[in-house]
Amino acid sequence: MIPRPAPATPPWLSPREGGIVVAVKAVPRARRTRAAGEQAGLLRVQVAAPPHEGQANAALCAYLATAAGARPSQARVRRGSGGARKLVEIDGDPRALAARLVRSVAASVGEGGP
């Protein structure tokens, strides 16, 4: 059996010791929370929550953690809590988290629609 090459890691995803870091462009007040593709090397995520008192950040962290197969409490905004560009850390096995997140994002982007 010929081994398959590992899929290329997207530019918005970085492994770290004990987890992964996701570079995100968050778009609040969307109809629903979903990944909407890539923009300038960042994962574009439409977030249904408003950017008020951290609601959009909490919804973004919960979405990314769930998409990566982790608990929402394992995700946090490391940088950019007040802006659209953010770095989100997710704790866990980097390989497993990355694989699940990439699959989930591909499925979400493939759905299309607003």
Hunting for tokens 């770290």 — which residue is that? 16
- Domain assignment of residue 114, yes or no: no
**Banded pLDDT at 110 (limits 50, 70, 90):** confident
Measure CA 23 to chain center: 7
CA nearest neighbour of 22 among 103, 77, 73, 69? 77
CB 31 within 8 Å of CB 114: yes
**110 versus 33: which is more confidently predicted?**
33
Q: Which amino acid is at 35?
A: A
Q: Number of folded domains in the chain? A: 1
- Domain assignment of residue 59, yes or no: yes
- Domain assignment of residue 70, yes or no: yes
- Domain assignment of residue 91, yes or no: yes
Alpha helices in the chain, H assignment, sequence order: 55-67, 94-111
- Domain assignment of residue 5, yes or no: no
**Banded pLDDT at 114 (limits 50, 70, 90):** very low
Q: pTM of the predicted model, to two decimals?
A: 0.88
How do the residues of the chain divide into helix, strand and coil, expressed in percent and rounded to 5?
30, 30, 40
CATH number of domain containing 102:
3.30.1200.10
Containing domain of residue 41, as a range?
A: 13-109
- Domain assignment of residue 65, yes or no: yes
CB 101 within 8 Å of CB 35: no
- Domain assignment of residue 17, yes or no: yes
Residue range 44-100, pLDDT digits in tens: 999 999 988 899 999 999 999 999 999 999 999 999 999 999 999 999 999 999 999
Largest CA distance in the chain: 53
- Domain assignment of residue 1, yes or no: no
Hunting for tokens 């962290």 — which residue is that? 61
Query: Residue 31 half-sphere exposure, CB side, CA atoms within 13 Å?
Result: 4
